[in-house]
Structure 1
């Protein structure tokens, strides 16, 4: 494997496990809670134990002074909730632009099974080719989405993560199937490190139980956005997630460490 690629993977992980906090939602949803003062949020979640944060390229100047020497990922496609179709992700940057903005890795969102899959397949193939040439890791956000597709079905999720590996990604993010037993199939469907999305904000216990189930199934961590940055105390919930991902804590131990119920 490329020396630079390994070095950059180390910058966005800890001992092979990943705790990423995506905050590219400003382009999708607008300046929602947690993203207006994104500087404070970035500072809090990285102090809490996140390995890396993720944004669109234009936010880079607000990231670097506040990430406490943690990793940085730039997302390369986007859509909005007020546009014609949120699943129609279009390219918003290139690997070269991400490198110039100081990113350690890039990411791309793919809706496997949707009508937009063919175009997004081509986009991911181009991104992985450029990233390989430059030694930049690619996090593929590969979701099972489309008409008649259950986004929590382990077979569909397994197909999505394998899709990412087949196209040359280095790490893959996908939805959670709901429990450790069913998520084992997803993890076993690829040799890539598999991390789960957080989705909309749940209770503290629900969030940490999903993280614990992922790790029990052999997953490599999480890439959680709203569950973290929209929390009343982003640093505290980040501390709890980090306790599970990096220290193998139980759900109760993690919540106790963070002072959460």
Structure 2
């Protein structure tokens, strides 16, 4: 939000030369101990060896993170909901900036569903988080999704509105959904001066995952904040290596898959 030595220093810890490869693993709260999260220590070790810049969890998982992240960055997520609760879009506060600092985080993240019935409360809370974080020199990753009644979650205009909202209330990085191709996603990237990273959603094929990342980078995006497509992979380190190849080394889809030892056929 403002120029701060602390914010800049911590952004460096969760990125590589301004590009971001973040692996969120807060899904244990949302979905339970799904594949890849029971032995989260091994998954964290694998994805960071594969090139991830940072991992992201809820605060209570912090003791399982630090010994396994191979010197990479750590982000603590500050709200959440469950798939078995009354409404998954109703994200509630689960932590504070101060708690994130105490457990060794380099940044905090907060989820807002722009266009949902819960947008007003989430907007207020996000603004409060950015104000507190700014005082402590902590970067804020806003997970700003276009979600709600009558909202198309892949519409570039809606996604552009979501990322702009994040900048307007003081976030330092913004994560949103993907519009489906590089050409349309360029509008999303141009809607803000913040680094824009994309969510992955449910696990696709290796080629689909890497092609999506390639599209984001071609559109001028800053990288990914992608969970299930990475941590639920049968070889998290391999798919992380492929994605890192695109983000950090500007590889083509085929080059990235080949470098990672993954099949390059469609």
CA offset at residue 255 of structure 1?
0.1
1:234 aligns with 2:236: yes
What is the match of residue 10 of structure 1?
Answer: 12
What SS does structure 2 have at the residue aligned with 1:210?
Answer: helix
Alignment length, in residue pairs?
A: 261
What SS does structure 1 have at the residue aligned with 2:215?
Answer: helix
CA offset at residue 33 of structure 1?
0.2
RMSD over aligned CA atoms reads 0.3
| Counterpart-to-counterpart distance in 2, 1:241 and 1:106 | 23
For normalisation by structure 2, the TM-score amounts to 0.98
What SS does structure 2 have at the residue aligned with 1:173?
Answer: strand
CA offset at residue 222 of structure 1?
0.3
What SS does structure 2 have at the residue aligned with 1:86?
Answer: coil
What SS does structure 1 have at the residue aligned with 2:110?
Answer: strand
What is the match of residue 174 of structure 1?
Answer: 176
What is the match of residue 68 of structure 1?
Answer: 70
For normalisation by structure 1, the TM-score amounts to 1.00
What is the match of residue 54 of structure 1?
Answer: 56
CA offset at residue 140 of structure 1?
0.2
| Counterpart-to-counterpart distance in 2, 1:172 and 1:93 | 19
Match of 1:113 among 115, 129, 154: 115
| Counterpart-to-counterpart distance in 2, 1:4 and 1:187 | 25
| Counterpart-to-counterpart distance in 2, 1:36 and 1:141 | 24
What SS does structure 2 have at the residue aligned with 1:106?
Answer: strand
The Cα offsets for residues 212-258 of structure 1, whole Å up to 9 and x where unpaired, read as 00000000000000000000000000000000000000000000000
CA offset at residue 2 of structure 1?
0.6
What is the match of residue 208 of structure 1?
Answer: 210
CA offset at residue 168 of structure 1?
0.1
| Counterpart-to-counterpart distance in 2, 1:2 and 1:158 | 26
| Counterpart-to-counterpart distance in 2, 1:150 and 1:61 | 38
What SS does structure 2 have at the residue aligned with 1:141?
Answer: strand
Map residues 124-163 of structure 1 onto 2, 5 A cutoff: 124-163=126-165
CA offset at residue 152 of structure 1?
0.3
| Counterpart-to-counterpart distance in 2, 1:63 and 1:123 | 26
The Cα offsets for residues 21-78 of structure 1, whole Å up to 9 and x where unpaired, read as 0000000000000000000000000000000000000000000000000000000001
Gaps of 5+ in 2: none
1:40 aligns with 2:14: no
Match of 1:26 among 28, 35, 49: 28
| Counterpart-to-counterpart distance in 2, 1:230 and 1:166 | 34
What is the match of residue 256 of structure 2?
Answer: 254
